[in-house]
Amino acid sequence: MTAKKYRLTLTLLVITLAVTAYISLHIGTISIPWFAVLVSFDAGELDISAETAETYKTVVSQIRLPRVLTALLCGAALAISGAAYQSMFMNPLVSPALLGVLAGAAFGASLGMLISNNILVAQLLAFGFGVVSVGTAVLLARFFPGNRLIMLIMGGVISSSLFTALLSVIKFIADTQNELPAIVYWLMGGFSAVSSSAAAMVLPFVAVGIVLIIAMSGYLNVLSMGDEEAASLGVNVKRSRMVLIIITTLISSLTVALGGMIGWVGLMIPHIARMICGADNRQLLPISALIGAIYLLIVDNICRTAFAGEIPIGIMTSLMGIPFFILVLSRTESRWN
Amino acid sequence: MYPLKVENLSFAWGSKITIDDVTFSIETGTVTSILGPNGSGKTTLLKLMLGFLSPVSGRVMLGEHDLATLDLAMRAKKMAYVPQRHTAVFSYRVLDIVVLGRIPYSNVFCRITDNDYQIASECLTQLGIGHLAERSYTEISGGEQQLVLIARALVQQAEILIMDEPVSGLDYGNQLMLLKQLRRLAQNGITCVKTTHYPEHALWTSDRAIFVRAGKIIATGNSADIINSSTLKDLYNADIRILESEAGSQKMRTCVPVFD
């Protein structure tokens, strides 16, 4: 995509994201007048009592804003991680879920929930086991000869199964009164339980991670040429890939610590972005991040407003993702050959 | 002046020695063909020269520098690698692939400038494929893909190009087109080293030939001098005659198999 078209697309996406976020702040169980945020909850302007204005303000700033920020940053993080993984492993079929990151992080976070009440412990363990599971997938793929693309998927499947099994052990051990339901509901995915303090603690890391990956997007173009070619172009392959794996795994694990297992975003969004802007990672990554943010924000809005009770977001992304991805696959197949 | 020298190089996979005490020098502005049967160690030798593999003993010298101690970006400015055209997974724009040749000159964030794109366009034009710049790499033909990878190597502005079987998988017309391009590059002072399965191609384009068998060099010198029935019999264990015929303004040699 030419520089001009790219800037235009970027601008349009930023506007769409801003509008979606603005709308998201106003919709929900308590429906808030559309101009409330624009007029800073001025009771006179909105023609409501000062008390109601105060309630609206609290709902928006304490509940909805953290949730909106969490949803959009998690969407951006998952989408950009998927795009980065796909490029660095030269494999359009991998994603945080397929490489086992989500399963590993889920195991780590549930272990954390079991042994401690401190959210920091859950987050650290989520990240730790996220790294372990990618490592397992990549090492298994190296260990067996054969088609690199397929072996990495196999490695991911094995690593995913391993941590899913370990997660079952945690569920089995967990106390059925409190811990088990908490783990199960959290794993289905959702941002309803995200406290503003947890969001404030975790989201800066996610945001910095996203910025760092975008800054390194030039490396992804080189790495996607293959190890030997990248080395012949003067890039230290092992070091740059290791740095990228750590950052991508960090941010995708943190989404698990915040919102549970949210599948399909990391696989689907990069493909959609690639259809829009092509394969160049310097454009693909920012566009993936923005589309991922908009997508997860919209899905989260549906989850919390469509029905009387809230639907877990992981279920929604799968239900919406699968048919959409089949459509995308049928249109992009030729681009992979 | 030898831009590339291989000195007493040995390599082993486990206990199996695949390159055994190999020494040769490459001269500036020549095309050198490395010939040898399958499994003779051609590719291993190429990977050692590129620094993808580390030798058990001996060294590769890039001008005055030992390859093993040379920084990766410096290496990339002196020596470029043209791989066998690969099955691209992602459909990059041709220009975006070619401009990657500027990575050794870029900053820590791999930032590519407008000037870099300018150089990339010029190299594409130089190879006669300027019209492909905006096309997708996955949509162009095999011969064009190989030229794109050569263009990327030229963008690196390295004095040495190392190519792994550049004609493999190309149709006959594209093979000849590529050989002509190699001759032109050498005339412009670029040193080309390639592996090949075609002794004829070594006769047509290359000044020098290196025969590798079982990890050892069995002959090295001017292609025209060392490629003959008896050396080819040694190398490939096949009966081959060399014929010479008029082709346009030149005399060309061809290899003809004897099937008796």
pLDDT at B31 > cutoff 70? yes
Predicted confidence (pLDDT) per residue in A204-262, tens digit: 999 999 999 999 999 999 999 998 999 999 999 989 999 999 999 999 999 998 999 99
pLDDT at A331 > cutoff 70? no
CA distance A272 to chain B (A): 13
State the total domains in chain B. 1
Q: Best of B81, B100, B107, B110 to disrupt the A interface by mutation (most A CBs within 10 Å)?
A: B110
Does A218 sit within 8 Å of B111, measured CB to CB? yes
Does A218 sit within 8 Å of B89, measured CB to CB? no
What chain A holds in terms of domains, given with CATH numbers, is: 70-332 (1.10.3470.10)
Domain that holds residue B203: 4-257
Give whole-number Cα distances, B51 to B21, B68, B150, in Å.
17, 7, 19
Closest chain B residue by Cα to residue A231: B72
For A41, list phi and psi in degrees, rounded to 5: 55, 35
Does A278 sit within 8 Å of B92, measured CB to CB? yes
Q: Best of B77, B90, B157 to disrupt the A interface by mutation (most A CBs within 10 Å)?
A: B90
Does B92 sit within 8 Å of A221, measured CB to CB? yes
Whole-angstrom distance, CA of residue B158 vs CA of residue B198: 26
Q: Which of A73, A304, A61 is nearest to A203 (CA)?
A: A73
Residues A130/A256, Cβ–Cβ less than 8 Å: yes
Predicted confidence (pLDDT) per residue in A67-102, tens digit: 999 999 999 999 999 999 999 998 888 899 989 999
> Which CATH number does the domain housing residue B155 bear?
3.40.50.300
ipTM rounded to 2 decimals: 0.91
Give whole-number Cα distances, B76 to B170, B186, B214, in Å.
27, 19, 29
Which residues lie closer than 8 Å to B255 by C-beta, 6 or more apart? B199, B200, B203, B232, B240, B241, B242
Residue B182, both tokens: 């190699």
Of B81, B90, B91, the CB nearest to A232: B81
Helices assigned H by DSSP within chain A: 3-26, 43-46, 50-58, 65-88, 101-115, 119-143, 148-173, 179-187, 196-215, 217-223, 227-232, 237-259, 265-277, 281-305, 313-332
Whole-angstrom distance, CA of residue A247 vs CA of residue A251: 6
- Pairing assessment for the beta strands B160-164 and B191-196 based on DSSP bridges: parallel
Q: Best of A153, A217, A232 to disrupt the B interface by mutation (most B CBs within 10 Å)?
A: A232
Whole-angstrom distance, CA of residue B53 vs CA of residue B48: 5
* Look-up of token digits 């290196």: B210
Residues B185/B32, Cβ–Cβ less than 8 Å: no
Chain A residues whose C-beta is within 8 A of a chain B C-beta are 87, 90-92, 149, 215-216, 218-219, 221-222, 224-226, 228-229, 231-236, 274, 278-280, 335-337
Predicted confidence (pLDDT) per residue in B231-250, tens digit: 999 999 999 999 999 988 88
Closest chain B residue by Cα to residue A148: B89
Within its chain, how far is the Cα of B186 from the centroid?
12
Of A224, A229, A234, the CB nearest to B90: A224
> H or E segment at B116?
helix B114-126
> What is the count of residue pairs from A and B with beta carbons less than 8 Å apart?
84
How would DSSP label each residue in A223-273? HTT-HHHHHHTT--HHHHHHHHHHHHHHHHHHHHHHH----SHHHHHHHHH
Does B47 sit within 8 Å of A218, measured CB to CB? no
Predicted confidence (pLDDT) per residue in B32-89, tens digit: 999 999 999 999 999 999 999 999 999 999 999 999 999 999 999 999 999 987 777 8
Whole-angstrom distance, CA of residue A168 vs CA of residue B200: 65
